[in-house]
Structure 1
């Protein structure tokens, strides 16, 4: 009996820690030590590491470790770091991992992200990854990104980290003569403010750069496969009503084939370029079944790559320097996430009014940037024509996107949140959408056990984006 009581109390403690990690208004509390780890290859200069460590200290990280290793040794070093954190005996407030290597050597860092996500001490806590690269064979030196980050993090401590990164992205493209734009990927569930200042209190420092000017034409393209997708009509209705309320001119196409996805995007781009009035924003919603590698499946079952559709809109001259929003309601693989965290008895779970698990992909922020601000190719960071893009995926990479007869959790929650606060910063609103989606327990049609879902938000926005003044 004593063992049962002790176990129940331990579960209660862990659940309370998880609930407290997101305080009022969805802000991470960061209770516990902040720890930072820098993993760098031998090419990295001492000056770059010194700048990083100064930034870490400014942001309140008490423990800053540095290890020099080959890229192949990063995973082992990170596994040791995870074990070290789990050995602390209590929750960690926040972890920041900087990965520094010549461009192209890191490849796909998701294995490193997953390794740290296994850390019990970081369950429900933010995990930040900074992936900093340079030209192959070149030394990593301080560039526009690190310079801007070090300048802002000390005097703009009331900003959320997403606000701060958006401003740094602008300065990076300006100082590098518009040859490069960083990008971040976020599954955060709340506002992350590392400066120990409430971001909603009166601001004593300058506000972020003026937001995007949305006084011109706003255009929305909704492409949805409804056939054999129960609830898809409700998503179309909710999104169409939301776009109308936000003054978007809407083009709707249902049941497009794979070829029609591409053709509709081309026609959408050409129509925008042909407008005599200025265009200020474009929103594209892609709703369909998804393939095992994140492809979209047209009504004919054929595949189309969403990246090709993004690139097509990037060619639009009328949208240069304007925000381009992509909403993707589709599966990105077949994995069903059971979540991470302790398991409680059902009555105990109901008593606490909290789900005992969070999605295993949640609470992660990955920042991809280049040390010298030179052009880079790839899906994570690129040249300036990749700037001003916001992509929101209904599922994490490799995971199922859930939907039922009432519609999808992503689209329905998005409409609910934006209708309640249409004038809020869109990145912060999307973070709130993710928080609500992550709290849900979903039951798929072919899965008898409840599973978790988590959004992925990718942004290269360079200004705050508010859809209503």
Structure 2
């Protein structure tokens, strides 16, 4: 009898696991802190095949909240509510508060969701404040990310800067988002935002200012009032970057005292060769050499005879506690400064610029999020899937009236056509062993399998697979989780197939 009860409970546990909001396979495995020795990987857990892999199911309640400061115009709030209704959010709340009280308001909102007692389908929060007042949005995002009712659910944040006073009409970003959500309901939210960015971007002093999205989503997110698993329309050729000209790549990799780093370099070199990139490799650069090599790379692109249509820069090194890159000499360089350097390259104006950053961004090892209250027999049978604490979040930084992102993004150079991919969330460890890093090795596998895919969507798949890995190391016997961070101001679909 005990055997039958145990078997029944195991089946029930598997069924419960299948009800995760993201349709996906649960894949086990391990990776290791990049600063530690590299033991062998543990065998993966059995996989559980689920339908609709890689897409969020948002069939549960959708809740939206607008937090606006008193200086924000009523017309801006009104167009936001219209966008929410177009996206199918049936519960829309509106609160006016000073920016200093936003955190307290979000805490109350979180408690309200947890008291509801049932999981949500999706939540959308719009934070609207005058230019420059919303200085630390990370705290606001973290407050809601810890909500038990939202575990595994997509959480979308619109961080909008707004000029004080009444505005005669809503800005390009909000009107474009509202129109496209109604006209292209099959498109994923990342596709919609890319098109909106194309419409919103404005020229300024020889540079193109653009909104920015920051994503840790693990699957495609479709909020239109349609079957979320229906076929997506093919984008027109004009909606895609033209990569028919030359492609150039630069690898700056600290190999010394980083076991497995050479494997990452070799894997990326092979991938770039397949994708038609002309690659330059520099190993063990000092902090100053990071800057000098990137400046020389930019100069070569500006002076070459044949034009380039895409640039890829891979930065691989140890990371500092505040997200700095550490050169082979142990000195620091800010990755954002390197991005800003290449964004001024004349040969790359209007062309996609891809940055891959394989480095720690702090020392935190994420234990992930799981159900907080479970009967003893669930805990005894099998621990439920744990979600990385930073996963399933999409932030959009934009100007409610104007064209640029309003300076919301910390460290952002506020330029268009830039894609940055971090191997770890802010403040967290990036993992690597003697076989290479989880991020780079998974990236290469996914791009080799589907080189014709939209890069933003493929990176979301890479994040899904990385998030499903269980991480253990010699300094800790408990499982830890990792999560990518993707920042994009791309204005077109980006396909790297040669």
Provide the TM-score with structure 2 as the length reference: 0.87
CA gap of 1:397–1:207, structure 2 versus 1, over 3 A, is same
CA distances 1:356-411 after superposition (whole Å, capped 9, x unpaired): 2010000000000012225544645967x611000000000000001111110000
Match of 2:151 among 118, 123, 140: 123
When residues 175 and 255 of structure 1 are mapped into structure 2, their CA distance, relative to the original with a 3 A threshold, is: closer
How many angstroms apart in 2 are the aligned matches of 1:273 and 1:345?
Answer: 60
Q: 2:135 aligns with which of 107, 123, 129?
A: 107
8 A Cα contact 1:414 1:433, kept in partner: yes
- Asked whether the 8 Å contact 1:163–1:208 carries over to 2, the reply is no
Paired residue for 1:300?
Answer: 329
Question: How far apart in 2 are the matches of 1:175 and 1:389?
Answer: 15
Distance 1:454 1:139, change over 3 A: farther
Q: Give the conservation status (yes or no) of the 8 Å contact 1:188–1:434.
A: yes
Deviation at 1:83, TM superposition (A): 1.2
- Superposed counterparts of 1:143-158, under 5 Å: 143-158=171-186
How far is 1:46 from its partner?
A: 1.5
Deviations 1:219-257 (A, max 9, x none): 000111011111111111111111111000000111111
Structure-1 residue corresponding to 2:92? 64
SS at match of 1:24: coil
- 2:346 match: 317
Tell me whether 1:389 sits opposite 2:418 in the alignment.
Answer: yes
SS at match of 1:130: strand
Partner of 2:316: 287
- Aligned partner of 2:52 in structure 1 is 24
| CA-CA distance at 1:44 after TM superposition | 1.4
Deviation for aligned residue 1:15: 2.9
Residue matched to 2:17: 15
Q: Count residues in correspondence.
A: 460
- Answer 1 or 2: higher relative contact order, Cα 8 Å, separation at least 6: 2
Of 421, 425, 430 in structure 1, the residue corresponding to residue 459 of structure 2 is 430
Q: Distance in 2 between the 1:332 and 1:204 partners? A: 38
1:237 and 2:239 aligned: no
Choose from 243, 254, 269 the match for 1:225. Answer: 254
Over the aligned positions, Cα root-mean-square deviation in angstroms equals 2.6
Per-residue CA distance 1:33-76 (angstroms, 9 max, x = gap): 00000000111112111111111111110000000001111111
Matching residue of 1:352: none
C-alpha separation in 2, matches of 1:43 and 1:19: 37
C-alpha distance in 2 between matches for 1:418 and 1:407: 16
Closer, same or farther: CA 20–277 of 1 in aligned 2, 3 Å: closer
CA–CA separation in structure 2 for the residues paired with 1:74 and 1:379: 18
For residues 189 and 315 of structure 1, what CA distance do their matches in structure 2 show?
32
Segments of structure 1 that go 5 or more residues without pairing to the other structure are 350-354
Question: How far apart are residue 84 of structure 1 and its match?
Answer: 1.1
Which residue does the alignment assign to 1:78?
106
Q: Compared with structure 1, are the counterparts of its residues 400 and 16 closer, same or farther at alpha carbon in structure 2 (3 Å cutoff)?
A: same
Task: Say if 1:102 and 1:133, in contact at 8 Å, map to a contact too.
Answer: yes
Q: CA deviation at 1:17?
A: 2.7
Deviation at 1:20, TM superposition (A): 5.2
> Which residue, 269, 272, 281 being the options, matches 1:252?
281
Aligned with 2:435 (options 394, 406, 410): 406
Cα deviations by residue, 1:304-346 (Å, 9 ceiling, x for unpaired): 1101110110111000000000000000001000000138547
Query: Which residue of structure 2 lines up, in the alignment, with residue 452 of structure 1?
Result: 481
Give distance in 2, aligned partners of 1:429 and 1:274. 32
Structure 1's 374 and 418: CA in aligned 2 closer, same or farther, altered over 3 A?
Answer: closer
Structure 2: gaps of 5 or more residues: 25-50
Out of 448-457 and 205-214, give the one that drifted further.
Answer: 205-214
> Distance in 1 between the 2:238 and 2:223 partners?
20
**What does 1:269-288 correspond to in 2, within 5 Å?**
269-288=298-317
- Confirm whether residue 338 of structure 1 aligns to residue 367 of structure 2: yes
1:87 to 96, 99, 115: 115
Which shows bigger deviation, 56-65 or 337-346? 337-346
Structure 2 residue corresponding to 1:419, chosen from 438, 445, 448: 448
